Amino acid sequence: AKGIGKGTVKVYQEMMTTSRRSSLTLESLLREAIDSRKLEVYLQPKIHLGSGAVHGAEVLARWTTDDNERIAPDVFIPLAEEAGLMRRLTDCIMVKACDALNQIAPYVPDSFRLAVNISASELANEHLLASLRRVLEEFDLTPSRFEIELTETALIDVELKILVDLKKAGFTLALDDFGTGYSSLSYLNRLPIDTLKIDKSFVANIPLEQSSTNLTRSIIRIARDMGCSVVAEGVENSEQHLFLESENCQLAQGYLYSKPLPLSEFIEFISS
């Protein structure tokens, strides 16, 4: 065998050092951004398909570094997960979400809920409910003003008690990206879920592509049978809107109505 020359090894080692250094740098920047509460929340309205009224909004985390570089959630959320920063990130996002809700409150009915994304690791954390409560109390808010968005994968190992306790506290629970996981319906039916969110990969292909269209129809029916409300995410055009409306989907979210907005623009959106 030829073996690897010393030169190759050296190059490889340098590459490793560089890539390790860059992810370490990003990680320490993220840690700093979380601790100094530099993460922002953007809000995306959820719309009643029938009336066009704003029903609530989803909270989406945003990070711009001091160098003015925007890092996508699909990058920094997994990084926070790997680095063990999820608990602090969730705390930071909840603080910002509560502050936002208090500023929105004058413009919306009491039924308006803010939906926050909670990751699988956080859901499995027995301290979750206590830390959510602590933040809410600080802002004089009750869990009844919030919905928790969970993915099907987050439910695989979760104890039913955690979900029941969140519900008892007053949170509602939504299943995000519904249809992309592998949970059985009989299992889901035993969980205290309030809302199903139709994944945007299906919505993207309605009403022209047959299988996504059928799946969307099925999810709307499943939601009805389970006594859940249903939200279509990623609605971008009026064909999708009209189809969903004709299928009696109640709620929708997507660029057609509004992209996720910083608080001031969100307040403009709901008060105009």
The residue ranges that bind Ca ion (CB under 5 A) are 117, 149, 176-177
Hey, CA dihedral for 141, 116, 40, 94, is it positive or negative?
A: positive
CB of 72 to ligand C2E, least distance (A): 6
Instruction: Give the nearer residue to Ca ion in terms of CB position, either 29 or 117.
Output: 117
Does position 120 bind ligand C2E by CB under 6 A? no
- Using CB under 6 A, which of 38, 87, 200, 224 touches ligand C2E? 200
Q: 149, 116 in Cβ contact below 8 A?
A: yes
Instruction: Give the nearer residue to ligand C2E in terms of CB position, either 11 or 208.
Output: 208
CB of 236 to ligand C2E, least distance (A): 4
d(CA 43, CA 106): 16
Q: Exposed e or buried b for every residue in 52-75, given b needs 16+ CB within 10 A?
A: eebbbbbbbbbbeeeeeeebeeee
What count of other Cβ atoms lies within 10 Å of the Cβ of residue 198? 30
Instruction: Give the nearer residue to ligand C2E in terms of CB position, either 1 or 156.
Output: 156
Does position 45 bind ligand C2E by CB under 6 A? no
Hey, what are 30's tokens? Answer: 């993220």
Does position 91 bind ligand C2E by CB under 6 A? no
Does position 177 bind ligand C2E by CB under 6 A? yes
d(CA 140, CA 6): 64
Owner of token pair 């190759």: 8
Does position 57 bind ligand C2E by CB under 6 A? no
Does position 99 bind ligand C2E by CB under 6 A? no
Owner of token pair 């803010």: 114
Binding residues vs ligand C2E (CB under 6 A)? 44, 60-61, 72-74, 77, 93, 117-119, 149, 176-177, 200, 233-236, 254-255, 260
